[in-house]
Amino acid sequence: NAGVTQTPKFQVLKTGQSMTLQCAQDMNHEYMSWYRQDPGMGLRLIHYSVGAGITDQGEVPNGYNVSRSTTEDFPLRLLSAAPSQTSVYFCASSYRGQGNYYGYTFGSGTRLTVV
């Protein structure tokens, strides 16, 4: 099993450009989420999904869109990149058992720089 796969690993964008960060998991996890990690600020939740066709906003959703058409894929779209979106982006997935979601499996991250 590959686990959680994120592409690309690195990306440089110009202000105003749009792009999609890809995330795929092969563990049949129903829960998927996107976090951004900035120095000294831990991980902040952008969007999450509890199953195909269902998405919801996290703490910092502005400037980002998501969709969940399949269980496996959860792409994150930056609509019009801004320098404030320079960050490391992590996708994570999990599954539910005995009333609780288990620990998250994280992808290796996408390092995004907006100039």
Partner 1 sequence: GQQVMQIPQYQHVQEGEDFTTYCNSSTTLSNIQWYKQRPGGHPVFLIQLVKSGEVKKQKRLTFQFGEAKKNSSLHITATQTTDVGTYFCAGRNAGNMLTFGGGTRLMVKP
Q: Which is nearer to partner 1, 74 or 90 (CB)?
A: 90
Q: Which candidate, 32, 44, 42, 39, places its Cα nearest to that of 6?
A: 32
Among 7, 9, 3, smallest CA distance to 21 is for 7
- Per-residue string for binding with partner 1, 61-90, x by CB under 8 A? -----------------------------x
Q: For residue 85, give the 3-state DSSP assignment.
A: helix
Nearer to partner 1 among residue 18 and residue 26 (C-beta): 26
Contact set for partner 1, span 7-36 (CB under 8 A): 31, 33, 35
Identify the residue among 27, 52, 72, 106 touching partner 1 (CB under 8 A): 106
One-letter amino acid for residue 72 of the chain: E
